[in-house]
Chains A and B, each alone.
Chain A
């Protein structure tokens, strides 16, 4: 029986979590859980020069109420020095000491390259006040891995001290706060070492402190720990040798075992408790450190906020504020006052106000954003009357978490906002939050496989599928498909370890737009480090960590659609004199909904994907709230929860809404009894299963963050049992839980959906009435969205908008609009003809040079600025715009000299000639002589139209001249392939063939391996469904083809037509023929689908007397010039 001097037994310090990347083999949560299980008195996670993992441990402890069970978790750090000083564990005694430690790490981070930290003993001596220190046995610094190049210079600047001297300095700097670590980890001479340490301790008067220098929570993690070591060193298990730990002893051990090991030095155990008692700092002491945000003329932030809100309300409701609104406002403001959140709202308000002043379109979203308060403050444009979200639910008084507001900005102007924030709060008080990059299935398998010595070939077989693991069979399935045996012991082990590795943090990177802003110095709250981007600093914690500690953060996000809409509004104002904003658009316009119901939504925000477009005609959105549902319903959450079809049936009136109970009717009434939003799922947990609000929130986060700890099971039991106990169907309960599971990973709350729905409506309104404006704006906001420019242009033309080629005499960098005679407008395509009168746009689009590859905006701006009355020759352009021959070549390749009467080939010929006639500043006399006139005519063969189209695709990614499939139509018809537009005329179940360029391949995770293809021919698009079985057989064709012919049964669901593929044929090869096709095109294509390149200009040139050569086909173009290369590969989505 072991007796402890202190009944609390033992506390483990020196715990390395997996936030010491590629060293620790356990999550912080696992370590804390194990410490609880083993009955430790305390655990001190101390990662390498980082606090990145301590918050998780803290949160886990808090959520499991472990303090009550006698466990304390104290934050610490393992200081690893680059000057040869052995590692030192540092634990702050109080808040001030913690701040000093953060500053110490910050200084080490800032002087090093990203991802490393360079510290010397001198740094610690400067910051040692209030720290309790444990001197470890040796240094674990690794040169190459941790220092990068900068170390060499640094080393010279700070020569290492001899160790005894260093120890002496430490004793002096931290009197009574220095301990000597002693470990019994079954090394080569552990008893001898312990004896020696005792002697050293006695000599220096330092107490000995027992630690197991923990790398894992359980010895079973040894294998993973070895794999991590191998990954770190870039070696395989076979070659790792002594870089691996000799045994699995460095895990958390129960107090009894520690006491046995330290039988010869029992005082080392009680010292751990004395050490623990000295530490009074907890992470709870951070947080609520908002910027003060005083506004001139107001005594308190609350006063300012109330004034701004009232002012905004008056602006919003010029006819007087409705009582409903003012009641809500008063209520919300009271809550804000109670929780002291006024500064937070003022901060967001200020940022939004700045963006507005700069003309940057923005919109807030997130739980708190859709409040009456935010509507009045102008943070969001979603009128809160549309939904009755309760403010409390998001600003919960008992959790004291800061409200969550994300603000989306135009993607190309977000940087201005970021710089404003830096300027306003200073770099010491504002920084970007981190995001923890974790191992995903793919990267985990790749790295683990390398460690196991699997060949590159096998690795790629396991990982490089275009669509990797489907949930169904995972890596094993991929392995089997690649002809490997996943049950072979070697591979099975590798896969098992890879599974264990996935979810491990890999490194910290910068969050896309999360800002943390504080009142006091940020570097005393959390260490800062350099971000990959220059002039940016990033903290060590991610948004969950900040949430948990209650530290303010604002997401400054970039959204392409906002750029598009702003550009659209600008065009509307310039060309139609219609000044519109998000708020001013006519609401609930029936024409807009009519368009949406027809799924005429290419380019529209959110609802343009294949899945959304097939849902629209069924859902038939007719109100704004329908759009909110539409945005939320085609998501993994509702799909996994099997909520989509019940909703559809009820919506279509095929089934009456049923409510499982009266209390749930209140929750689910808006969505016909089917939970679709995250809020509803949470509310069900609260109302029907008896969760407290914070438990429900814990549940949601448990889904997202630590699936690995296995708490899910308990939540599942609790929810299902809770619901069954309240009289609910077990099946319904299970479905609700599944849906929460889906939400955890792809959460889509109603509040976000509402903000997005507004953008859906705005983009659809623009598309509906001004398709010219919308397409032009969309082209100028690329890349974004689901469709390529070719489809956007096609769609615009089908809505009557003429589109003109890029031209040196007409185009700008951006695409532009120009007025045309009504007669010059294109006819509206048959399928949209019933909407023709809704179209108010009267302009045509001139494509901009941004559409042409390889050009730089700067050059084009000069070209435009010096254009004057226009350029009359290539030479004129060359001399006046001072463009280099390389740029001129690009312009020629984009076929932009048509206004000079030159096609691509002629222009290129001339440009290449310019190139060779010397620099333009040589020999002024020769300048007047035209090089072209004196050289003999080369009589180049004319470029066939087919090749022009190919070159258009290659350089502009679209062609206005013709669709590539036109050229092959004769061949296709011979093979019985129909046009896409004719599909509507076939009866259901008919066997048909269509062919087209593959625009999109989609294999949604929720569709169990089914692949959706979208094909495009000269007449329209065809939607193909490939069932998994068929896909396996047609895999090579489906994935590898750019032009594909599919045969299958036609399926019709309302107006949506699909072809269920049975056979598929790769026609990509046929694209090569395009380069010789053209003259006979008239015969095979409808005249309006072709635009002649330059009618009648060219006299035929006889280039080769046929009798001269042996008969042989015209050689193909070199591989990289082949038409097949120019055509789009098709985009793959998951």
Chain B
């Protein structure tokens, strides 16, 4: 389901839904009216694109020249690769089978041009291979009955051609080109020629070429972990030099270990901020290798090439060396990165304030916030990772008539800084219905109240709790100690409400 043209509509269906007569593009409301029990999920175009990219990477198993193609396709240049997998039909079988095991339905086709393969995969029916050197007439026979969509032209052009009664590729083939091109543009025929192999467009996969890369080759495979790490450190230094020249810092790093026998081992590491410190970088990989262990490296016969690439980088301006460095800050970031490399960043938490009346829940541990990755080279304010969470500043009261400026507003803060782990029961004497306690006994010590403010009534969050409301008091005893107490429940509600100590003021 996605929001299209101002209404929620079905963006995709599974087979079952299609069988029930639903179609993509119909309004969610209508679909619901038809099938009230319809199970619906939000469309996730970014997720889909990411999955497609991952699949594209996986396809590099078969050929290095693989690229995502549109929202739902992958194009592979298998020139010279098919024989490695037992020929073209075997290759198709392997790919579709292995993808099916991963849970993907695939339609694959092989043809002499990307355009032809694209058309064949989508409109070819059973036929999925066009052998090389197929004569043009045979191609025409093959592609002629396909709908114009096989040409991969814009839908409105397809629609307009349809109004003229031209609905298949073959309808164009047989007609004089000039009048059609005059009305619908010459692109139509350019595509037709591509499809028939009259013109060839090179495949131009959009490779994610690493932004920065350093590489070492060794005369013979190195196997020892220390050597590998030493090599990585050296590569880190190279890479950082490169990064420094461009005022960039790495955000995602990848070490590729190419084994003598052709296998490739990847170690990836992410950072929480743009990074350009060789030691810190190497330390990340050290932690990773530590985690997977020596055997995890599967050194085998040894690696003869080690490549370090910064898969993504962000702007990182040279730092001013200054006297009061915020070294604490940097080392904290470092710590987070290192812990993160070992345990996963998600497991590192920090306390964050929460906006609620309920004092126990006023702060909570949440994962350390990673900054959203910015596009490479995009100038960006260099914010700190653990940007001080926005704790409510001693909340400023709204404008009021009383602020003459000559009065101290509040002698005491509204809440203690820390609360007792759990409220402790106290014995009190207080007046009904909501009077303050006159004296109370806490941890076996009797306190005589000298000054008090309250009650401040905090009702529970009714949508998740049925606890009684609490009346909080700030109390100062005769010894000058300050307490935060509350009565749980109101006299109207319970005959004998209990009192608790919840915190101490400094």
Contact = CB atoms under 8 A, between A and B. Distances in A.
A189 B453 contact: yes
Interface string A892-927: 010000000000110011001101110000000000
Given A913-B183, A940-B165, A1104 B1 contact: no
A481 interface: yes
Contact of B458 (A191, A223, A247, A456): A247
Nearest to A235: B355
B160 A1112 contact: no
Contacts of B20: 1036
A493 B463 contact: yes
A477 to B, nearest CB: 10
Contact of B171 (A490, A904, A1103): A1103
B159 A912 contact: no
Given A482-B36, A483-B37, A139 B140 contact: no
Contacts of A398: none
B167 A222 contact: no
Nearest to B412: A189
Given A936-B178, A1103-B171, A1109-B170, A943 B399 contact: no
B167 A1114 contact: yes
Interface residues of B, number: 77
Nearest to B170: A1109
A481 B36 contact: yes
B372 interface: no
Contact of B159 (A222, A940, A1120): A1120
Interface in B464-481: 469, 471
B462 to A, nearest CB: 6
B347 interface: no
Interface string B386-410: 0000000000011111111001001
A84 B167 CA distance: 67
Interface in A224-266: 226, 237, 239-244, 246-249
A465 B183 contact: no
Nearest to B29: A464
B161 to A, nearest CB: 10
Contact of A248 (B167, B179, B401, B459): B459
Contact of A935 (B40, B171, B179): B179
A86 B182 contact: no
B168 A1036 contact: no
B402 A200 contact: yes
Contacts of A242: 355-357
Contact of A482 (B32, B174, B410): B32
B398 A1040 contact: no
A143 interface: no
B183 A912 contact: yes
B62 interface: no
Given A237-B463, A938-B175, A1103-B174, A196 B407 contact: yes
Nearest to A1121: B159
A1112 B145 contact: yes
Nearest to A909: B164
A938 B30 contact: no
A249 B433 CA distance: 14
Interface in A307-331: none
Given A190-B456, A223-B462, A246-B457, A1039 B33 contact: yes
A162 B463 CA distance: 41
B357 A244 contact: yes
Given A460-B29, A464-B29, A1121-B159, A938 B176 contact: yes
A888 to B, nearest CB: 13
B397 to A, nearest CB: 7
Interface string A443-472: 000000000100011001100111100000
Interface string A108-143: 000000000000000000000000000101111000
B329 interface: no
A296 interface: no
A325 to B, nearest CB: 55
B178 A935 contact: yes
Nearest to A458: B40
Given A163-B399, A943-B165, A466 B29 contact: yes
Contacts of A193: 402
Interface in B145-191: 145-149, 155, 158-160, 162-168, 170-171, 174-176, 178-180, 182-184
B462 A163 contact: no
Given A186-B457, A1103-B171, A1112-B145, A1036 B125 contact: no
B32 to A, nearest CB: 5
Contacts of A241: 354-357
B25 interface: yes
A493 B465 CA distance: 13
A138 B398 CA distance: 6
B32 A464 contact: yes
B28 interface: yes
Contacts of B401: 86, 135, 137, 163-164, 167, 180, 200
A1120 B459 CA distance: 55
Interface in B113-154: 125, 140-142, 144-149
Contacts of A464: 28-29, 32-33
A1115 B119 CA distance: 14
B355 A239 contact: yes
A1039 B471 CA distance: 56
A509 to B, nearest CB: 21
A379 to B, nearest CB: 44
B21 A1040 contact: yes
A917 B181 CA distance: 12
B183 A246 contact: no
Given A466-B33, A936-B179, A1103-B174, A1117 B167 contact: yes
Nearest to B403: A163
Given A188-B414, A1114-B167, A457 B40 contact: yes
A189 B404 contact: no
A186 B33 CA distance: 48
A713 B237 CA distance: 85
A243 B395 CA distance: 13
A106 B174 CA distance: 73
Contacts of A456: 1, 8, 42
Contact of B463 (A135, A180, A452): A452
Contacts of B471: 186
Given A1108-B141, A1109-B144, A1117-B159, 20 more contacts: A86-B401, A164-B403, A189-B456, A241-B356, A242-B355, A248-B459, A452-B463, A456-B1, A457-B40, A461-B38, A482-B36, A935-B182, A938-B180, A1035-B34, A1037-B21, A1110-B142, A1110-B144, A1112-B125, A1115-B149, A1118-B158
20 contacts: A86-B401, A138-B399, A163-B399, A163-B403, A164-B403, A189-B414, A237-B463, A239-B355, A240-B355, A241-B354, A241-B355, A241-B356, A247-B458, A483-B37, A905-B164, A912-B184, A935-B178, A938-B175, A1039-B30, A1114-B168
**Top 7 A-B pairs, shortest CB-CB distance:** A241-B355, A1115-B147, A464-B29, A186-B457, A1112-B145, A1036-B34, A138-B398
Interface of B: 1, 8, 20-21, 25, 28-30, 32-38, 40-42, 125, 140-142, 144-149, 155, 158-160, 162-168, 170-171, 174-176, 178-180, 182-184, 354-357, 397-404, 407, 410, 414, 453-459, 461-463, 469, 471
